[in-house]
């Protein structure tokens, strides 16, 4: 079991170049992260390749036992991990935030360790006999984001380890400490070389995606970076799982009770202060309930305290970095200048510390507005009127992304009929953004490809082999 101080001390480099990591809520220095180089990455990949055959040879049962022990280690140091995550990423301890994320990291690790993946007899008719197996791929490179650094890293690490691969993780430059700490705790249980972290800049990331000894790459992040990874991985024909940008749509049908759905709408859009790939980024509401939905949503939003994450009362935090703060500010001001109505929010405090942007609802905004068309990735939700469901579907499907979406209705069957026409990898009914370790998750269009979670997620971290005869 670690305390915050002991965990931070353990991940602080004793030698070599470092850089300060600051708290996005206060500007205070949280700790120092090592500045790794391409040479460091090459050495980590070599160690991973050397360890992989022994790790695979342990078999599913033993690997699962070690993964469950690693989950126990995470749970034992959960509070220290949550405190570090709050101070580095900015998300509050409470609500669906830091403590929730650490719990999700151990939960997903347990799920991957416990999910069976049996060989499949595809034909056995007396003349032919063929069995489909899944073998380890080799060394997996995992590039994670800054919004859910621990949990998404585990989404990549857990199925890779379960299937007999070794893993080299590159965390976001904004949140390296959280991932360093997570891996440090897990490596108190796992064999040496099986799981490693390299913290570095884009040059390190580019080398990871083109490295000849990386056999599979998993990436969660922007569509633009995903496209660059596809290009740089082509020469080595790497297997890829890409979870890219979303700009998810929600469609509210005219039969809803606005008060009944307001809180779930709020968290669908504003979980992690809107900094979630599958958060609801644009909301289409039928004209007959539009004003009531806006009013009820505003009432819920006004009750949600935002502030420094270590304050136990807060459930919303700052934007994680200045770049994202500037994007949200620009999009809201452009919407305001176009004539859209800022129901609440906007106007961040320019004098206070931290990258706090107030919870913002923007009504009476046109669908072609930049706040609707671009993924804002922050606490600003555009709410668009519609009068016909076909019109709403056309607007929801009008972008080149399709990670998630939602349909809201008192008639679940009617909602499912609409959901079937939405172009997204997951469409939720009367909720938005919830994920489950046994339910496959992935995007369509330019939101990426490949599935994570459950049996399909395990298969994506293996090489299919048919033994015929």
DSSP string, 254-271: TT--HHHHHHHHHHHHHG
96 touches 432 (CB < 8 A) = no
For 298-327, b/e burial (b = at least 16 CB within 10 A) is bebbeebebbbbbeeebbbbbbbbeebbeb
439-462 pLDDT, tens digit per residue, is 999 999 999 999 999 999 999 999
- Per 3-state DSSP, the chain is made up of helix, strand and coil in percentages (nearest 5) of 40, 20, 35
Helix (H) or strand (E) holding 301: helix 290-302
Burial of 169 (0-12, 13-18, 19+ CB in 10 A): buried
**CATH superfamily name and code, 4-244+447-468:** Aldehyde Dehydrogenase; Chain A, domain 1 (3.40.605.10)
310, 83 Cβ separation under 8 angstroms: yes
Q: Is 62 in a helix, a strand, or coil?
A: helix
pLDDT of residue 131: 96
Active site residue 243: yes
CA atoms within 13 A on the CB side of 251: 30
Q: Which of 88, 243, 296, 375 is catalytic?
A: 243
Of the candidates 366, 282, 274, 284, the one whose C-alpha atom is nearest the C-alpha of residue 327 is 274
Told to judge if 277 belongs to the known catalytic residues of this protein, a careful annotator would answer yes
Give the contacts of 353 (CB within 8 A, at least 6 positions apart). Answer: 25, 26, 27
What is the number of residues in the chain?
469
13 token code pair: 């480099």
Predicted pLDDT of residue 351: 82
The strand ranges marked E within 105-194 are: 120-124, 129-136, 139-143, 166-170
Rounded distance, CA 388 to CA 157, Å?
44
What is the tens place of the pLDDT at every residue in 158-201?
A: 999 999 999 999 999 999 999 999 999 999 999 999 999 999 88
Catalytic residue among 79, 88, 173, 277: 277
Closest listed residue to residue 30, CA positions, set 5, 2, 49: 5
* Continuous H helices in 59-175: 59-76, 78-89, 98-114, 149-162
Q: Break the chain into its structural domains and give their ranges.
A: 4-244+447-468, 248-429
Domain range 248-429, CATH architecture: 3-Layer(aba) Sandwich (3.40)
Distance CA 169, CA 430 (A): 35
Same fold, 4-244+447-468 and 248-429: no
**Six token digits for residue 32:** 């120092």
Picking from 326, 297, 327, 303, the residue whose alpha carbon sits closest to that of residue 315 is 303
Rounded to two decimals, what is the model's pTM? 0.96
Tokens 């995992």, residue located = 142
Query: 362, 366, 313, 262: which is closest to 95 by C-alpha?
Result: 313
pLDDT in tens, the chain (469 residues): 999 999 999 999 989 999 999 999 999 999 999 999 999 999 999 999 999 999 999 999 999 999 999 999 999 999 999 999 999 999 999 999 999 999 999 999 999 999 999 999 999 999 999 999 999 999 999 999 999 999 999 999 999 999 999 999 999 999 999 999 999 999 999 999 999 999 988 899 999 999 999 999 999 999 999 999 999 999 999 999 999 999 999 999 999 999 999 999 999 999 999 999 999 999 999 999 999 999 999 999 999 999 999 999 999 999 999 999 999 999 999 999 999 999 999 999 878 899 999 999 999 999 999 999 999 999 999 999 999 999 999 999 999 999 999 999 999 999 999 999 999 999 999 999 999 999 999 999 999 999 999 999 999 999 999 999 9
Return d(Cα 162, Cα 190) in angstroms, integer. Answer: 12
pLDDT (0 to 100) of residue 143: 97
Q: For residue 259, give both structure tokens.
A: 């008060």
pLDDT attached to residue 267: 98
* Matching residue, tokens 């570095």: 200
Residue 286: phi, psi to the nearest 5? -60, 140
Q: Which residue has the tokens 């859209």?
A: 340
């Amino acid at each position: 079991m670690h305390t915050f101080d002991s965990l931070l001390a353990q991940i602080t480099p004793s030698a070599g170049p470092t850089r300060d990591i600051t708290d996005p809520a206060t500007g205070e220095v949280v700790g120092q992260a090592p500045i790794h180089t391409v040479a460091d990455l090459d050495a980590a990949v070599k160690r991973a390749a050397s360890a992989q055959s022994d790790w695979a040879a342990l078999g599913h049962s033993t690997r699962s036992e070690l993964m469950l022990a690693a989950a126990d280690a995470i749970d034992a140091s959960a509070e220290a991990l949550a405190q570090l995550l709050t101070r580095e990423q900015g998300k509050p301890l409470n609500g669906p935030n830091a403590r929730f994320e650490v719990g999700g990291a151990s939960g997903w690790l347990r799920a991957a360790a416990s999910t069976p993946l049996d060989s499949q007899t595809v034909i056995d008719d007396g003349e032919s006999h063929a069995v489909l197996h899944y073998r380890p791929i080799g060394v997996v490179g995992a590039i994670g984001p800054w919004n859910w650094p621990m949990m998404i890293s585990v989404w990549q690490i857990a199925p890779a380890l379960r299937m007999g691969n070794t893993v080299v993780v590159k965390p976001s430059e904004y949140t390296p400490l959280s991932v360093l700490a997570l891996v440090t705790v897990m490596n108190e249980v796992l064999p040496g070389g099986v799981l490693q972290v390299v913290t570095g800049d884009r040059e390190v990331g580019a080398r990871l995606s083109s490295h000849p000894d990386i056999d599979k790459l998993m990436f969660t992040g922007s569509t633009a970076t995903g496209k660059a990874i596809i290009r740089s991985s082509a020469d080595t024909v790497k297997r890829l799982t890409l979870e890219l940008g979303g700009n998810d749509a929600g469609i509210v049908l005219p039969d809803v009770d606005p008060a009944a759905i307001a809180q779930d709408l709020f968290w669908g859009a504003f979980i992690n202060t809107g900094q979630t790939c599958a958060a609801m980024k644009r909301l289409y509401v039928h004209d007959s309930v539009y004003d009531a939905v806006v009013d009820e949503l505003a009432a819920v939003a006004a009750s949600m305290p935002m502030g420094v994450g270590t304050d136990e009362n807060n459930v919303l935090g700052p934007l994680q970095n200045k770049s994202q703060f500037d994007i949200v500010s620009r999009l809201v001001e452009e919407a305001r200048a176009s004539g859209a109505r800022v129901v609440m929010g906007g106007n961040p405090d320019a004098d206070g510390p931290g990258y706090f942007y107030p919870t913002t609802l923007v009504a009476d905004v046109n669908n072609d507005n930049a706040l609707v068309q671009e993924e804002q990735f922050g606490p600003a939700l555009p709410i668009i009127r519609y009068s016909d469901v076909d019109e709403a579907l056309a607007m929801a499907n009008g972008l080149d992304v399709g990670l998630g979406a939602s349909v809201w209705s008192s008639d679940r069957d009617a909602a499912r009929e609409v959901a079937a026409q939405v172009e997204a990898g997951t469409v939720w009914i009367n909720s938005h953004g919830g994920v489950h370790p046994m339910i496959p998750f992935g995007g369509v269009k330019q939101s990426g490809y490949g599935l994570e979670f459950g049996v399909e997620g395990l298969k994506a971290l293996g090489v299919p082999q048919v033994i015929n005869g």
